[in-house]
C-alpha cells in the first residue's frame, strides 16, 4: 500500500495483473485512472477517468544466473527503476522479482531466483503511473486508485489501496547503531547491501510497520519513532535470519518470539503514538468511557 503525505503531489505505480497461466501479457495501452477518497468518491461507472502513463522495459540478461541467486547481469540497467517489480521469462516460466539496487550492468533482487536463468532470458516490465495532484491528496485517510488499460485487445481494470497521511515518520535507526546492538548482522546480511541501509528500510517496511499496523497503529500516528528503535533493530535481525540458510530453525523461532514480546511491550506504551488520524472520517463504536460520560451528563439534566 502506498502512503502519501497530505497535500503533496504523488505518482502511484501499479502493475497489470498476469494471466492465470502465469505467462506475461502484451504491453498495455490506453492507461487511465480515477481516484476516490471519503470526500470524493466516484459515484458510478460514468465517473470521469484521467489519463495515465505506461512505463515499459525490455532488457537482455547478459550472463547466466543460478537458482538461489539474488543478482543478475544485464547488458545495461539504464532504464531499470529501483523498487519496481519485473518479469523474468525463461522459456514458458515466469517469475516476478523486485529490484532493490542496481549497478551499471547488474541488478540486485529482493528475493532469490526460483530457477536457473540463461543468458537468453529477458527481463520485461511495464507499469501504469497515476499522477495525483495536491487536490487529490488534500484529505487524510484511506483512498483507492482504480486503473484500467487495454491488453491484448481486452480492457482490464484493478484497484490499488492508498493512504493519505498527516505525517510520515523518519526511520529511527542508523547502520552504526544496528551493528552495535547486533554485530552478527554484518556476517549474515546480503553481500550486496554493503551499508545495511537497504536492510533497515526493508525491515521497517516489511517487518515492523506491518506488525505495528496489525496492532491498530498506522505510520502517520507515530509521533516519536525513537521509541521503536529497539524493535526495528530486532526486526532487522529477524529479517536476516529468516532468509539465511546458515541459521538454525530454533534460533529463528526464538527470534520471532523475542520480537513478538518486544512488540507487545512497545505497543503497550502510549509515549510514541497519537489518536488515529482517521477517527474523524471513519465511524467507530463509542468507548466505554464515552458512554459513561454521556450517561453522567444525562443524569445531571
Closest CA to 86 of 104, 69, 68, 107: 107
In the structure, what pLDDT confidence band is assigned to residue 289 with cuts at 50, 70 and 90?
very low
The predicted pLDDT at position 180 comes to 92
> What Rg do the C-alpha atoms of the chain give, in angstroms?
23
What global pTM score does this model have?
Answer: 0.63
62-90 residue pLDDT tens? 999 888 888 899 988 888 888 788 877 76
147 pLDDT more than 60: yes
Which pLDDT score, from 0 to 100, does residue 24 have? 47
**If you average pLDDT over residues 92-103, what whole number do you get?**
78
Position 285 scores a pLDDT of 38
First CA to last CA distance, the chain: 48
pLDDT at 191: 65
* pLDDT, averaged across the chain: 79
The highest-confidence range among 25-39, 138-152, 190-204, by mean pLDDT, is 138-152
> pLDDT class for 231, splitting at 50, 70, 90?
very high
Per-residue pLDDT tens over the stretch 1-29: 778 888 889 888 887 765 434 444 577 88
Contact 124, 26 (CB under 8 A): no
Query: Which pLDDT value is given to residue 32?
Result: 92
pLDDT band at 254, cuts 50/70/90?
A: very high
Query: Is 26 exposed, middle or buried, given 0-12, 13-18 or 19+ CB atoms closer than 10 A?
Result: exposed
Strands 71-73 and 106-109: antiparallel
Grid cell locating 179: 551493528
The set of cell numbers assigned to 166 is 498527516
User: What is the per-residue pLDDT for 235?
Assistant: 93
For residue 287, the model assigns a pLDDT of 43
Highest mean pLDDT among 155-159, 167-171, 269-273: 155-159
**What's the pLDDT at 262?**
93
The pLDDT tens digits of the residues spanning 175-203 come to: 999 999 999 888 887 666 678 888 898 88
Amino acid at each position: 500500500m502506498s502512503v502519501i503525505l497530505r497535500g503533496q503531489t504523488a505518482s502511484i505505480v501499479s502493475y497489470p495483473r498476469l494471466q492465470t497461466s502465469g505467462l506475461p501479457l502484451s504491453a498495455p495501452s490506453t492507461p487511465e485512472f480515477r481516484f476516490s477518497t471519503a470526500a470524493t468518491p466516484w459515484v458510478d461507472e460514468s465517473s470521469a477517468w484521467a489519463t495515465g502513463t505506461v512505463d515499459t522495459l525490455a532488457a537482455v540478461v547478459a550472463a547466466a544466473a543460478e537458482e538461489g541467486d539474488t543478482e543478475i547481469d544485464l547488458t545495461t540497467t539504464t532504464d531499470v527503476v529501483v523498487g519496481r517489480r519485473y518479469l523474468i521469462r525463461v522459456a514458458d516460466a515466469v517469475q516476478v522479482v523486485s529490484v532493490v539496487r542496481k549497478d551499471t550492468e547488474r541488478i540486485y533482487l529482493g528475493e532469490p531466483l526460483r530457477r536457473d536463468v540463461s543468458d537468453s532470458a529477458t527481463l520485461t516490465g511495464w507499469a501504469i503511473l497515476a499522477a495525483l495532484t495536491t487536490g487529490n491528496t488534500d484529505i487524510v485517510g484511506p483512498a483507492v486508485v482504480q486503473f484500467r488499460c487495454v491488453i491484448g485487445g481486452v480492457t482490464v481494470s484493478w484497484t490499488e489501496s492508498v493512504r493519505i497521511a498527516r505525517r510520515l515518520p523518519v526511520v529511527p535507526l542508523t547502520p552504526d547503531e544496528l551493528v552495535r546492538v547486533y554485530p552478527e548482522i554484518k556476517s549474515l546480511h546480503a553481500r550486496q547491501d554493503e551499508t545495511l541501509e537497504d536492510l533497515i528500510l526493508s525491515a521497517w517496511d516489511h517487518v515492523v510497520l506491518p506488525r505495528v499496523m496489525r496492532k491498530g497503529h498506522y505510520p502517520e500516528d507515530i509521533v516519536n519513532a525513537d521509541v521503536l528503535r529497539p524493535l526495528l533493530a530486532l526486526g532487522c535481525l529477524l529479517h536476516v535470519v529468516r532468509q539465511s540458510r546458515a541459521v538454525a530453525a530454533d534460533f529463528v523461532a526464538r527470534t520471532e518470539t523475542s520480537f513478538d514480546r518486544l512488540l507487545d511491550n512497545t505497543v503497550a506504551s502510549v509515549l510514541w503514538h497519537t489518536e488515529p488520524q482517521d477517527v474523524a472520517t471513519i465511524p467507530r463504536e463509542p468507548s466505554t468511557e464515552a458512554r459513561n460520560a454521556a450517561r453522567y451528563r444525562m443524569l445531571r439534566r
